[in-house]
Chains A and B, each alone.
Chain A
Amino acid sequence: MNQRSRALLAAVLLPVISVIAGFVVAGLAVALSGSDPWQSFYALFQGAFINPRALPETLIATTPYIFLGLGVALGFRAGLFNIGAEGQFYIGALFGVFIGYNLHGLPAIVHILLALLAGILGGFLWAAVPGILKARFGAHEVITTIMLNYVAFALVNFLINNGPMVDKASSAPRTPYIDPAAQLPILASGTRLHAGLLLALLAIPVIWFLLDRTTIGFRIRTVGFSPTAARAAGISVAWTLLATMGISGGLAGIAGADEVLGVSHYMPPSFSTGYGFDAIAVALLARSNPWAILPAAFLFGALSSGSRFMQFQTQVSADVISVVQATVIMFIAAPVLFQWIFRLRRAPAPAIKIASETEGAAL
């Protein structure tokens, strides 16, 4: 097998096989729980693409995956494992909803922009904390971002659950509704599909350009490949890590704000149950390539929205979908398994490198 076809195999075939393997395993699970896998997956397909409102709902679910997947992927490119996307998503939503319901009388475009910028700022600040801890003290971002997730959940709980941001007029614990001017416009009437999708689609080339065509992106990739060589070339590794973490958090933050402005229009304490974690799988599936985020996010969006109709038809627990996702992650995260199965001698370039230390060959 030559270099090119092997690279192609690694980039396209492996993710596809991972997804198929995920479905096979999930199909087994469905069968064991007493339903027909074919019927279930057909329902999944209908629920994701065919039924009334199915495609718009899939696209709605795709939107946060795009933002978050881009954010996590960007971190990967710098060698950072940002597990804090979920927390940054929460804080972004918190900042966004705060601007959303506190300001009134602004033109829609101004209000929306302000709220989205607030979301970016929230995610940025929340990610900057582990960024600084990493850059300044070398604290591992996996630990700090995980911990900050819990801080974010607790903070949101405190603020929205009978705290200062609760809607006193409602019996449910949630913030007030955002001003109508802050709501993202609906793209297709009769659906919930909102303009956030366009922003997410715009973010893909922007992040691609940032990574591939700017000096910042070059710094990020260089640090990701080899922090030691980057340092020797006069690149500030600390600054680069901090900036990457910030941008990654900003993307998670805009995802949160976008969800508030486009979908819920208010924020409850348990706002998301795992978008930020799923996004790690999205980034892995896309091998941290910004363009590949789109199909990966679309897949996860389809799984998420299609699972509704699948449950409706089969009355099987929605956790089956989680198994598909988990299996995909597992098969992606274990490339060694695939090399073994397909007798690939050479490892494809790893998607993540936490500490890239290539020793000189001693011969």
Chain B
Amino acid sequence: MRKILIPLAVVGALVLASCGGSSGPAASSCSKTFKVGFVTDIGKLGDKGFNDAGWKGVQDAQADSSLCVQGKFLESKQPTDYTPNIQQFVDQKYDMVVAAGFLLGDDTLKAAKANPSVKFSIVDSADFADPVAPTNFTGLLFKQDQGAFLVGALAALLSKTNHVGGVYGLDVPAVVQFRKGYENGAKYINPSIKVDGVFHPAAANAFADPDWGKARAQDELSGGADVIFAAGGATGNGALLAAKEANKPCIGVDVDQYLTYPDVDPCLVTSALKNISVAVKSIIASAAKGQWPSGGVQTFDIKNGGVGLAPYHDWDSKVSADIKTKLQDIMTKLKDGSLSTGAEGLTKYS
């Protein structure tokens, strides 16, 4: 019997690893299904970030029986998988391919040009080399700076020390906009406020380094900051944990982290939402219904609900009506365009 012990241990480990998303067929009332392929970046599914959120958008679209969508995913193990993974869906006569994240930008654009009858959409990228995008291509962009501006203002309003902090992942454009938006929002409330911030220095684990995130947040807290905003996947989660342990308010990012990271619920005031799944579902719906947008870009902002503030949950009673009013006012001004975050479309932090 001894000889099969080792393999079984491997199997056990694998079963745990392989329980992931799967997809049911589209509703049976459909005369024709709209087939959507989802290609992850090298973070693969289970990253609680881009890839999971994007796939959730596909699943949400599939769950909407009126759309008749059937979705499948392919995970990329290395960058050279992007092209063949996209091609796999094309070869299997899929109607649409959704790519998770700007790392797939080049490969998605190339595939879009080569396969005009297939629709392509990509999260967080609208990077086309030509001035005009192919008509079958739509990049999904987010005005993350708007959500960040709001939580920046909130942080400044909550701060007693006149000093707030932020911990970020890699300094890619989306994260740069988060940081700048947050800083400008805080300064909008209080021009003399001190705002700390730090980007993760390395690419490989920039969004997966909670220890680093925690240590940086602790640095900022001991330096006098009394509110922490974290925008950097698992790295940011480490920063949230530091705030919780220090008993200081913290602010999450992308999704309502009250629901996804319950460990920090006591400190989590709100999260700067970036509704990737909403955006993905929305573009799939448009495509399935034959309402494909032109122009190559769809922007999700505070007006159409693509970005915003998550509910306050436990903090609802602790955030004063005055603060809520001020935030409501900012939100209105951002929506009607009378207020600018100063961080819109920023690609480099300065």
Q: Which residues of A contact B (CB under 8 A)?
A: 21, 25, 28-29, 32-34, 51-53, 57, 153-154, 157, 160-162, 170-174, 192, 259, 263-264, 266, 268-274, 305, 308-309, 311-312, 315-320, 323, 326-327, 330, 337, 340-341
A316 touches B18 (CB 8 A): yes
Q: Enumerate chain B residues within 8 angstroms of A315, measured Cβ to Cβ.
A: 21-23, 72-73
* The stretch of B83-91, B215-223, B303-311 that contacts the partner chain: B83-91
Residues A320 and B14 in contact in the complex (CB < 8 Å), given A154-B202, A309-B88: yes
Look across to chain B and name the residue whose beta carbon is closest to the beta carbon of A154. Answer: B202
Interface residues on B, range: 35 or more
Q: How far is the CA of A28 from the CA of B44 in the complex (A)?
A: 23
A263–B84 Cα distance when bound, in Å, is: 11
- Min CB gap A181→B, angstroms: 19
Do B18 and A171 touch (CB < 8 A)? Answer: no
Task: Tell me whether A57 and B105 are in contact (CB under 8 A).
Answer: no
Query: Is residue B75 contacting chain A, with contact meaning CB distance below 8 A?
Result: yes
Q: Are B203 and A172 in contact (CB under 8 A)?
A: no
Known A-B contacts A317-B20, A320-B18; A57 and B84 likewise in contact (beta carbons under 8 Å): yes
Residue of B nearest to A262 (CB): B80
Tell me the complex Cα distance, A94–B7, Å: 38
| Distance A1 CA – B347 CA, assembled complex (angstroms) | 71
Chain B residue nearest to A32 (CB atoms) is: B15
**Could you tell me the distance between the alpha carbons of A115 and B186 in the complex, rounded to whole angstroms?**
50
Does B3 sit at the interface, judged by CB under 8 A?
A: yes
**3 closest A-B pairs by CB:** A317-B18, A161-B203, A29-B14
Q: Does B42 contact A (CB under 8 A)?
A: yes
In the complex, how many angstroms separate the beta carbon of A21 from the nearest chain B beta carbon? 8
Interface check B204, CB cutoff 8 A: yes
What are 24 contact pairs spanning A and B, CB under 8 A?
A29-B15, A33-B19, A157-B202, A162-B171, A170-B127, A171-B347, A172-B102, A172-B127, A173-B172, A173-B203, A174-B106, A192-B83, A264-B80, A266-B106, A269-B203, A270-B78, A270-B79, A273-B78, A274-B77, A305-B84, A312-B74, A312-B88, A327-B7, A337-B3
With a cutoff of 8 Å between Cβ atoms, the chain B residues found around residue A274 in the complex are: 77-78
The winner among A173, A259, A309, A317 for most chain B CB atoms within 10 A is A317
B45-85: CB near A (< 8 Å → 1, else 0) gives: 10000000000000000000000000011110111110111
Say yes or no for B173: interface residue by CB 8 A criterion: yes
Is there contact, CB below 8 Å, between A308 and B125?
no
- Contact yes or no, B14 A323, CB < 8 A: yes
Whether A271 contacts B10 in the complex (CB less than 8 A), given A308-B88, A315-B22, comes out as no
Q: If A172-B103, A315-B21, A315-B73 touch, does A273 touch B11 (CB 8 Å cutoff)?
A: no
Any A CB within 8 A of the CB of B325: no
Chain B 91-114, CB-CB to A under 8 Å as 1, else 0, gives: 110000000001101100000000
A171-B172, A317-B75, A323-B10 given. 4 additional CB < 8 A pairs? A29-B11, A170-B105, A319-B18, A330-B7
Q: Which residues of B contact A317 (CB under 8 A)?
A: 17-18, 20, 45, 75
* B325-341 contacts to A (CB < 8 Å): none
Please tell me if B234 contacts chain A, counting CB pairs below 8 Å.
no
Q: How far is the CA of A264 from the CA of B7 in the complex (A)?
A: 36
* Cβ A268 vs Cβ B103 within 8 A: yes
With A157-B202, A263-B80 as known contacts, state yes or no: A318 contacts B75, CB within 8 Å. Answer: yes
Contacts A157-B203, A308-B85, A320-B18 given: A171-B173 contact, CB under 8 Å?
yes
- In the assembled complex, the Cα of A32 lies from the Cα of B17 at a distance in Å of 11
* Contact of B170 with A by CB under 8 A: yes
| Chain B residues in the interface with A (C-beta under 8 A) | 3, 6-8, 10-11, 14-15, 17-23, 42, 44-45, 72-75, 77-81, 83-85, 87-89, 91-92, 102-103, 105-106, 125, 127, 170-173, 202-204, 347
Given contacts A264-B79, A315-B73, A317-B17, contact A192 B84 (CB under 8 A): yes
Q: A341 — nearest CB in chain B belongs to which residue? A: B3
Bound together, the chains give a CA A317 to CA B22 distance in angstroms of 10
Write the chain B residue with the least CB distance to A269: B203
Residues of A within 8 A of B204 (CB): 153, 157, 269-270
Cβ distance A168 to chain B, nearest Cβ, rounded Å: 10
A143 → chain B closest CB, angstroms: 21
How far is B15's CA from A337's CA once the two chains are assembled, in angstroms? 25
Distance in angstroms between the alpha carbons of A175 and B126 in the assembled complex: 19
Closest chain A CB from B117 CB (angstroms): 16
**A57 vs B85: C-alpha distance when bound (angstroms):** 11
Contacts of A171 in B (CB 8 A): 102, 105, 125, 127, 172-173, 347
A315 to B25, CA, bound (A): 12
CB-defined contacts of A34 to chain B, threshold 8 Å: 22
CB distance from B125 to the nearest CB of A (A): 7
Q: A49 → chain B, closest Cβ, in Å?
A: 15
Return B204 CB to nearest CB of chain A, in Å.
6
Chain A nearest CB from B10 CB (Å) reads: 6
Residue of A nearest to B127 (CB): A171
Q: How far is the CA of A105 from the CA of B103 in the complex (A)?
A: 29
Q: Is the CB of A33 within 8 A of B14?
A: yes
Q: Which residues of A contact B87 (CB under 8 A)?
A: 53
Known: A29-B15, A320-B14. A268 touches B84 (CB 8 A): no
Cα–Cα distance between A335 and B204 once the two chains are bound (Å): 36
Closest to B19 in A: A33
Contacts of B347 in A (CB 8 A): 171
Known A33-B19, A171-B105; judge A271-B78 contact (CB<8 A): yes
Residues on the A chain within 8 Å of B84, using CB: 53, 57, 192, 305, 308
A205 CB → nearest B CB, Å: 27
- What residues of chain A lie closer than 8 Å to B125, measured between beta carbons? 171-172
